[in-house]
Amino acid sequence: MDSKLTLSLDKLIIEKAKAYAKSNKMSLSKMIENYLATLTSEKKGKINITPLVASISGVIDLKSNTDPKKEYTDFLIEKYK
């Protein structure tokens, strides 16, 4: 059963949210309902992975001893030589 809810939000945020909802072909109400459902779901810790993300998971194979900070630092040093 649907119920009405009145919210007071910044006008700019409302306009951006409406545009986002429209570009994703859903109503602002449905978008907020989905968000609140996600926040209050019983499944804490379990993240829903979209099919696209699942399909590209594991594409990059990193060595187990890789230090991401050092790799990025080395990359930047090489880039800006």
The whole domain housing 28 covers 9-43
For residues 6 and 8, give the distance between their C-alpha atoms in angstroms, rounded to a whole number: 7
For residues 66 and 16, give the distance between their C-alpha atoms in angstroms, rounded to a whole number: 40
Residue 3 forms part of a structural domain: no
Residue 68 forms part of a structural domain: no
Q: With beta carbons less than 8 A apart as the criterion, state whether 30 and 19 touch.
A: no
pLDDT at 18 over 70: yes
Residue 45's pLDDT is what? 64
| Tens digit of each residue's pLDDT (9 = 90 or more) over 21-79 | 999 999 999 999 999 988 887 766 667 778 888 788 777 777 778 888 988 999 999 99
Residue 26's pLDDT is what? 92
Residue 21 forms part of a structural domain: yes
Backbone angles phi, psi at 55, to 5 degrees: -70, -25
Residue 30 forms part of a structural domain: yes
pTM beyond 0.75, yes or no: no
- Chain-centre distance of CA 72, in angstroms? 24
- Domain count along the chain: 1
Q: Determine how many CB atoms are found less than 10 A away from the CB of residue 26.
A: 13
